[in-house]
Structure 1
Amino acid sequence: MVKIIFTTFLIVFIAELGDKTQLQTMLLATQSNTLWPVFVGASMALILSSLLGVIAGSYLTRYVPASYLQTSAGVVFIVIGILTLAGKI
C-alpha cells in the first residue's frame, strides 16, 4: 500500500509541476495579501479533482478493461498534443 501511495504521489507531483494550474495559482498568490487562502483553495481543488478521478476510474474499470482505458487515454493525450502544436487549442 505504501508503494501505491508513493507512486501516485510522485506521478501526480511531477505531472503538476509547471502546468497551467500551478502558474495560475502562482498568479493568484501574487495578488493576495495572505497566501493561506490560495493554498487552501488550490489544495481543495486538487483533492476534489483527484477524488473524482479515483471514483470515475474505479467505476469505469468495472465495465471497460483497463487496457482499453490506457490506450484511449494515450490516444487522447496524443491528439491534444497535436492540436496544441497546431495552435488549435
Structure 2
Amino acid sequence: MDIKVILTVFATVFVAELGDKTQLATMLFAADKSVDKWAVFAGACLALIAASGLGVLAGGVVSNYLGPKTLSVVAGIGFIVIGCWTLWRA
C-alpha cells in the first residue's frame, strides 16, 4: 500500500467531513442521553465505510470511460452546480 495515498485521502476526507451535515447528524444522535455512544460511533463508521466503498467502486468504473482530467472537470462542475443550487434554495 502507498502510505502517501492513504494519508492524502485521509486528510482530504477528514477535512471535507468536518462540520458537514453528516457530522452534525451524528452529533445530534450522540446528544441523546438514552443512546449508546458506541452504537452511534459504529453506525457512523459503517455508513462512511459503505459510502466510501461506493465511491471507490464508482471511481473504478468511471475511470474506464473518462480520463482523470475530464473527471476532475466534471466533478468541479458538479460541485459548482450543487453550490449554486444550495444558494438558490437558501
In structure 2, distance between residues paired with 1:49 and 1:33: 23
The yes-or-no answer on 1:84 pairing with 2:86 is yes
Tell me the equivalent position of 2:48: 46
1:9-29 CA-to-partner distances (Å, cap 9, x unmatched) read 000000000000000000001
In the superposition, the TM-score normalised over structure 2's length comes to 0.92
In structure 2, distance between residues paired with 1:9 and 1:83: 28
The yes-or-no answer on 1:13 pairing with 2:14 is yes
Tell me the equivalent position of 2:63: 61
Tell me the equivalent position of 2:76: 74
Q: Which amino acid aligns with 2:74?
A: S
1:25-82 CA-to-partner distances (Å, cap 9, x unmatched) read 0000112432000000000000010011011101110111121111011001001111
Tell me the equivalent position of 2:30: 29
Q: Which amino acid aligns with 2:52?
A: S
In structure 1, distance between residues paired with 2:36 and 2:69: 45
In structure 2, distance between residues paired with 1:85 and 1:25: 24
Structure 2 unmatched runs, 5+: none
Q: How many residues align?
A: 88
Checking the alignment, whether the CA contact within 8 Å between 2:26 and 2:40 is kept in structure 1 is yes
Spell out structure 1 runs of 4+ moving beyond 3 A.
none
Aligned-pair identity in percent equals 51
